[in-house]
Structure 1
Amino acid sequence: MKSQKFILNLLVVFLTSSIASVYAQTKDITLEDIWSGEFSQERMQNLQSLKDGKSYIVQDYDRVSQDMKVEIFSYKTGEKTGTLLSSKAIPGLSVFQTFQLSDDESKVILGTNVESIFRRSTRGIFYVYDLESKELVKIDEEMIQSPTFSPEGSKVGYVKNNNIFFKDIKTNSIVKVTTDGEKNKIINGVTDWVYEEEFSFVRAFEWNPSGTKIAYLKFDESNVPEFSMDLYGNYGQSLYPKQDVFKYPKAGEENAKVSLHLFDINSRRNSKIELGNYEYLPRLEWTQDEDLFSIQTLNRYQNELKLYLVNAETNEPKLVLTEKDNAYVDVTDDLTFLNNNSFIWTSEKDGWKHIYHYAENGNLINQVTSGAWEVTNYYGFDDKSGRIYFQSTENGSVNRDVFSVLANGKNKLRLTRKTGTNRADFSADFTYFVNTFTNTKTPAVYTLHKASNGELVREIKDNSALLNKLDNYNISPKELSTINVNGNELNTWMIKPPNYNPENSYPLLMFQYSGPGSQSVSNTFFGTNDYWYQMLAQQGYIVACVDGRGTGYKGRDFKKVTQKELGKFELEDQISAAKLFGGRDYIDADRIGIWGWSYGGFMASNAMFQANDVFKAAIAVAPVTSWRFYDTVYTERYMTTPQENPSGYDDNSPISHVDKFDKGNYLLVHGSADDNVHVQNTMQLIEALVQANKQFDWRIYPDKNHGIYGGNTRLHLYTLMTKFIKENL
């Protein structure tokens, strides 16, 4: 009898634990979970390699002691080996936000009160701190931009009120390099809005290797039309809105006149470099020769890029390379000058993005990489080993691997082993690299490897805690596959409900971005939106994404087929993909929705208006509604100007198709302070819908930019979108 009772008790315990285990794995994701950071991944802190290549530094803030530190660590062991600086140890400086080391690592620029201007630009109060003498010197009493050490570390160049200055650290004297800077008129040494956004750089001045000359760009934006935004502020702050006014060249309008200049530190002489005809100067870089620097020019069509080498003694430019394309030429940061002034360059001229090696005079030495795959990141050249390090899609367009190859194109080595997405961060001397690996089943894993052969040195950090946490939730796999649409094999992912039954029929929500050269389908783990998709899947929806024509990493022709017709082929592919999915037994063809943000919002709007026989509902967040409203650099790269291509602009504008919006449900969302895709896009579309007497839903988020975030904003937005989907799909 005792034995039977014991067995019965064991059975009760087993059943109880089994039920608890099943219950623990049936937890549903909530929006509050997502936007409270419940599923955040552990990440490597931003590390910076010291020049010895054996150590790296990390900035870290101790909230208890309120001490901002920069700590030194060993690559090989990961152990802390020292403290480079501590705000508590610097008299007169309670804390700093940013730091920048001099080339010889003896001094550091420390930033305080740093505030954002646009996407990449900031301004603040900055100091120079001498790590040996412990002396702290304020660079300027006012807010400045882009402070940068001269290579030998004796001076700091910076921009204030649109003029370039430099401070001599030894004498504490300040020299004004330019004098004509004026808001919304002349900019020296930093870029205007459109260069910052579309050419991805802010500081537009560069020291030569000896610190005796400064090459810089001047922007004359006197004739560029102004754009203004009302800023409403918080309740009770002000009775009247403020207005932000800045220069923004829209498609077909006048750009800033950009010119190249050279300042000689010793003679205090400014000179202008004449470069002939061009529209843009998207890159400026010195060679390793103190009297030779490079400048890249682009025509307005952006289909002809020229590389010049400028003699800083004579101010004479020499054209060494011209890149042409029937569509456009991409501007990159891959140009690297070797110690003999030969240079590394990347190009799509054979139909795929690859690495090339050129002599100083522009003669091709050799094509370093080749094949029906793309170089997706150029990491650099090691002059000791003669090897080039890069990332590519050789293992499939949704995957990334890290490779090295000799400059002559021989002896290529795959340095990463796992299939998925691998990203590398190399030490200064290319001894080591930190690899970040992820795939659809694996959140970020950080490991240290030898750069010579990819050998694992040590494991640094993983996200096993997140995986353990997700074991308690109803998580569905993210399935990667391809579909054949309009004669092309397109990458796609799909998330199905956890209790998926192929005998059932499910509503489908499609997400896409679709912009030129973009990629939304990749072998990576969940991002924030993926948890939202998991939540929708738990509530009985299938979510899918398709990268159609015009997206990237599948060769030049696939990417550039949309030239002069943004929105045409991309929409055809989304419609065809939706029909293909709708033909599957497990998808309800009468309940297919689509959504997107920015370019994706442009696409979702077109899908709703032009294909509401296929799509039942659509959400467009911060959409472009007419490319006439967007900036010159981005828009004309793909569309030329509205004056030359009016049909390309208008035939694919959602505004032109509101009359076809005969059925379905549409939600339109925008931030009122979007300096990128202006709320004007949404207002113009709203007016067209109203005048066509079309019913729809819309929301404006006051004072929110293109990202629409801050406080509870994202939670509110996704609550709104979830409610819309559940009510309409």
Structure 2
Amino acid sequence: MKFRLLLLPILFILSFQGIAQKKQLTLEDAIINRYGDLAPDRLEQLQWLANDHVCSYVKDNQLYKNYTYGLEKKLFKLDDLNKLLGDSLKSFPYMTWVKNNALSFYYKGDNITINDKARKILARVPVPKKGSNFDYCKENGTYAFTKENNLWLSKGKDEIAITQDEDKNHVYGQSVSRNEFGISGGTFWSPKGNFLAFYKKDESKVSNYPLVDYMGRVAEHTPIKYPMAGMPSEHVEVGIYSMITEKTMYLQKQGEPEDYMTNLTWSLDEKYLFVQELNRAQNHMKLNQYDAITGRFIKTVLEEKHPTYVEPQHPLFFLPNEPNEFFMFSNWDGYARIMHYNTDGKFIRQLTKGDWEVTRFVGYDAGEELLYVEGTKDSPLERHLYKINVRNGDITKITHGSGVHYTTISPDNKYFIDHYQSTDIPNVTTVISNGGKKLRTLNISNDNAADYQFGENKIIELPCKDGKNTLYARIILPPNFDATKKYPVILYVYGGPHSQLITRSWKNSARWWQYYMAQKGYIAFTLDNRGTPNRGRDFETVIHRQLGVHEMEDQMTGIEYLKSLPYVDAERIGVHGWSFGGFMTTNLILTHPDTFKVGVAGGPVIDWSMYEVMYGERYMDTPQENPEGYENSNLLNKVQNLEGRLLIIHGVQDPTVVMQHSMKFLRKCVKEGKQVDFFAYPTHPHNVRGKDRVHLMEKVSRYFEDNL
């Protein structure tokens, strides 16, 4: 009995020591190792084969095939690939499956194709030595690429200049419209590789904006083209080069020169090119059809208008069994939907309904007439895969488990690789059928951060002041939380369009820097305000012409909640954010100086009239059309309210939120006699990446530790 009594306190001490011995996050852990050694284990290069419902992956320097019915088969080892190449690679190059179960990858300046046993090189295509924006067409074995402002083709050793324009204001084959509207490239191969569509942008009327590189013996002027809201913008055209005739023609663009040409989509027979054309005011979209041979405008298939803005983000999807019919994203009724039309503009059916959004098109099974999408039907905080019967509209959820699912469909449209994570699950990868049956578990990720000390992380719901919506927020408590104590708070904010910071993914999608600061005794808080996505058009577009108003109102709802908690020190609340979050940070500390003691604003927008056309005019219209909105959102008009400590950080080479924002703010602070702190990162653009990010976050952390 005595022995048992003695054992209990010993076990208690050992248990307590086990908790106490949990590791502390360092800044390097939170910023760099979070994506390295501490990241969940995942299968490398997991993908479907090109012509089968079989997936492959790399594990322990071995390439595997995995069949949906459960058989795992070894293909070849890294040693086998090295033997074939006569090399000593330390890891597999990134490989993709192409036709006839062959593998393609980049190696020493060539695109190599080998058989699936790494015993034979099937093809070796040289990659152009000089150039950028490479776009390889598997159907014809040709690279499209750019040199300076012109567009080129390369097949084998031959290089052909498609354009030879000496005017540097004319740019070919590169992304346009500053990557808005889902645009991420400037070249578009046709389905069979017979044509190449490409962008041409004329920046002749766009202002040159001065950036300076200070790192040389003499500082170098490196100007960029930067179209500010209300000022002249670029003119975009679409060209088509024929691989058969080796000639180029341009589409007979409709509308005005500054209209946007977005989401280019080829018809499956390569006869037509469809373009979603948007006026500069961004409130009227026309889906136009063009003849791919002549460039002749054929007709406007359909139109969409809205008093706020229309924002096309996705190309069309043509049905392989009905080539004159297509699926299209639309939010005409208030939520992101999939609509079914034909090329005569006839509306066939609306495939999704209800108060939820389709976030991603996954695939279509033409034989079964089943459409697969991911969306928010179960919750705005989750993503699930849904099966939609095109004939009767029935919707079935395929994925299971509360959280976030990301799926890829097999080539035969029958199976899915499902990457699943939730608040407490880093990642589980399975193969599932289109009926939702789990066929095989490919990987269960280890929590490589399990030995580290994390504070409690929970999602809360708050009523929005509009009386209609619910606001979602995340609160992280210090690891050794004591409800009888008072804790300072750091609000991390973004709050702008296209950003959702709160989901039921691993650790509720928290930034690990927030855990790091919680470890130092701060409560970390984040809230998704109105204006953020995936909650319907009204929730997102309420910010139109008045950026900062409703966003701040919702953030202050979160602050009111925090102040109601007995363990929150209401006298010690700080705020930090970057870009739109920098705008929000500065706005909050200037508008509510009695609430926020400390702020750190990175790359902040100070005056929206100095921001670029494509993004700025979507949400604010032009300064000429909306002078009151621009005036009310101009933070230079609030500098006199500054009372707390504010640190402004800006990248010297920032091409997105140009340094002029911070310079004008600093100048206004001097005029108003307000003290403000400032730090610039030479050589860095809009954000600070790589190892220098540790330096950045140490500066941010110290600023709160010293002042909050």
Please report the TM-score for the alignment, with normalisation by the length of structure 1.
0.87
The answer to whether the 8 Å contact 1:507/1:541 transfers is yes
Corresponding residue for 2:255?
277
Q: Which of 188, 213, 217 is equivalent to 1:239?
A: 217
8 A Cα contact 1:195 1:282, kept in partner: no
Q: What's the offset of the Cα at 1:429?
A: 2.1
Give the structure 2 partner of residue 119 of structure 1. none
Whether 1:491 and 2:472 are equivalent positions in the alignment is: yes
Which of 275, 279, 283 aligns to 1:295? It is 275
> Shift in Å at residue 343 of structure 1?
0.3
| Aligned twin of 1:55 | 54
8 Å CA contact 1:99–1:111 kept in 2: the answer is: no
Amino acid paired to 1:187: V
Is 1:461 matched up with 2:468? Answer: no
1:558 matched to 2:539? yes
Instruction: Say if 1:130 and 1:136, in contact at 8 Å, map to a contact too.
Output: no
Contact conserved, 2:365 with 2:414, CA < 8 A, in 1? no
> What corresponds to 2:497 in structure 1?
516
Is the 8 Å Cα contact of residues 420 and 523 (structure 1) preserved in structure 2?
A: yes
Instruction: Name the amino acid aligned to 1:158.
Output: F
Worse-superposed segment, 200-209 or 426-435: 200-209
CA distance in 2 between partners of 1:672 and 1:190 (Å) = 24
**2:163 matches 1:178:** yes
Aligned with residue 138 of structure 1, among 120, 126, 133:
126
Counterpart amino acid of residue 597 in structure 1: W
User: 2:548 — aligned with what?
Assistant: 567
Deviation at 1:46, TM superposition (A): 4.2
Residues 599-620 of structure 1, C-alpha deviation per residue, up to 9 Å, x if partnerless?
0110010111111012122111
Q: Deviations over 1:635-658 (max 9, x none)?
A: 111111122222222321222210
Deviation of 1:107 (Å): 7.5
Q: Distance in 1 between matches of 2:71 and 2:661?
A: 50
Q: In 2, Cα distance between the equivalents of 1:370 and 1:443?
A: 32
| Other-structure match for 1:688 | 668
Deviates more, 1:362-371 or 1:626-635: 626-635
Residue 174 of structure 1: CA displacement?
Answer: 3.8
1:66 matched residue in structure 2 = none
Per the TM alignment, residue 659 of structure 1 is displaced from its structure 2 partner at its CA by 1.2
Which residue of 340, 350, 372 maps to 1:357?
340
Per-residue displacement from partner, 1:644-691 (whole Å, max 9, x unpaired)?
222222321222210111x21111112212222222222221121122
- 2:704 maps to amino acid: I
Partner of 1:699: helix, strand, or coil? strand
Asked if the contact 2:197–2:238 (Cα under 8 Å) also holds between the matched residues in 1, the reply is yes
2:455 to 467, 475, 478: 475
Q: Is the 8 A contact 2:95 2:103 kept in 1?
A: no
Contact 2:45 2:94 survives alignment (8 Å): no
| Distance (Å, rounded) in 2 between the aligned partners of 1:667 and 1:143 | 40
Instruction: Describe how 1:331-410 pairs up with structure 2 within 5 A.
Output: 331-339=312-320, 340-410=323-393
- Give a deviation string over 1:706-726, Cα, whole Å, max 9, x none: 231222x22222222222222
Give 2:38's aligned residue.
Answer: 39
**Alignment deviations for residues 290-349 of structure 1 (CA, whole Å, 9 cap, x no partner):** 212212211001111111222224533221111111111122225201122200011111
SS in 1 for 2:450: helix
1:307–1:128: structure 2 CA closer, same or farther, 3 Å change rule? farther
Structure 1's 439 and 109: CA in aligned 2 closer, same or farther, altered over 3 A? Answer: closer
Distance 1:72 1:255, change over 3 A: farther
Partner secondary structure for residue 39 of structure 2: coil
CA separation in 1, counterparts of 2:665 and 2:20? 48
Contact 2:153–2:160 (CA under 8 A) maintained in structure 1? yes
Shift in CA distance, 691/313, structure 1 to aligned 2, threshold 3 Å: same
Query: What is the distance in 1 between the residues matched to 2:295 and 2:182?
Result: 27
Cα distance in 2 for partners of 1:366, 1:490 equals: 32
Alpha-carbon distance in 2 for matches of 1:705, 1:528: 25
Give the counterpart letter for 1:212 in structure 2.
N
Post-superposition shift, 1:50? 2.0
Distance of 1:102 and 1:446 partners within structure 2: 23
Aligned counterpart in structure 2 of residue 158 of structure 1, from 122, 141, 145: 145
Q: Distance in 2 between matches of 1:707 and 1:449?
A: 39
Identify if the C-alpha distance between structure 1 residues 449 and 17 changes in structure 2 by more than 3 Å, giving closer, same or farther: same
Change (3 A) 1:138 1:610: same
Report the secondary structure of 1:436's partner residue.
Answer: strand
Q: For residues 655-674 of structure 1, what are the structure 2 equivalents within 5 Å?
A: 655-661=636-642, 663-674=643-654
Contact 1:250-1:632 at 8 Å conserved across structures: yes
Matched residue pairs, number? 692
Change (3 A) 1:267 1:302: same
CA–CA distance in 1 between the matches of 2:450 and 2:409?
30
Whole-angstrom distance in 2 between the partners of 1:245 and 1:561: 36
1:75–1:220 CA distance, 2 compared to 1 (3 A): farther
Q: Per-residue CA shift, 1:531-568, capped at 9, x if unaligned? A: 33223333332222121221122211111011011112
Partner of 2:681: 701
Structure 1 pair 710/213, CA: closer, same or farther in 2 (3 Å)? closer
- Residue 261 of structure 1 aligns to a residue in which SS? strand
Contact 1:282-1:298 at 8 Å conserved across structures: yes
- CA-based RMSD: 3.0
Aligned equivalents of 2:491, 2:687: Cα separation in 1: 20
Q: Of residues 420, 425, 450 in structure 2, which corresponds to 1:442?
A: 425
**Are 1:725 and 2:704 matched, yes or no?**
yes
Equivalent position of 2:238 in the other structure: 260
Deviation by residue 1:142-170 (Cα, 9 ceiling, x = unmatched): 2343232163x35443333333333445x
Partner deviation per Cα, 1:571-599 (whole Å, 9 max, x = no partner): 22223432342233332222222211110
Please say which of residues 268-277 and 364-373 is displaced more in the overlay.
Answer: 268-277
| Equivalent residue for 1:431, pick from 396, 414, 420 | 414
Structure 1 residue 60 displacement after superposition: 8.7
Instruction: Say which SS state the counterpart of residue 42 (structure 1) adopts.
Output: coil
Is residue 2:195 matched to residue 1:213? yes
Q: Could you say which residue in structure 2 is the equivalent of 1:230?
A: 212
- How far, CA to CA, are the matches of 1:87 and 1:631 in structure 2? 49
Check conservation: 2:135, 2:187, Cα contact below 8 A.
Answer: no
Aligned residue for 1:308, secondary structure, equals strand
Q: 1-side partners of 2:543 and 2:5: how far apart?
A: 70
Q: Look up the equivalent residue of 1:50 and give its one-letter code.
A: L
Q: Deviations over 1:339-379 (max 9, x none)?
A: 22200011111111111111121111100010011111111
**Which residue in the other structure is 2:25 paired with?**
29
Does the 8 Å CA contact 1:485/1:577 hold for their aligned counterparts?
A: no
**Local SS of the residue matching 1:373:** coil
* SS of residue matched to 2:700: helix
CA distance in 2, matches of 1:96, 1:447: 23
Give 2:146's aligned amino acid.
Answer: V
Q: Which residue of 1 is the match for residue 84 of structure 2?
A: 89
**How far apart, CA to CA, are the structure 1 residues paired with 2:464 and 2:483?**
21
Match of 2:14 in 1: 17
Query: Counterparts of 1:226 and 1:392 in 2: how far apart (Å)?
Result: 41
Structure 2, gaps ≥5 residues long: none
Partners of 1:409 and 1:190 in 2: CA distance? 42
Separation in structure 1 between the aligned mates of residue 638 and residue 336 of structure 2, nearest angstrom: 36
**How big is the shift at 1:434?**
1.8
Query: What corresponds to 1:120 in structure 2?
Result: none
Aligned-pair identity in percent equals 28
Instruction: Provide the secondary structure at the position in 2 that maps to 1:466.
Output: coil
Secondary structure at the residue paired with 1:623?
coil
**Which residue type is aligned with residue 618 of structure 2?**
R
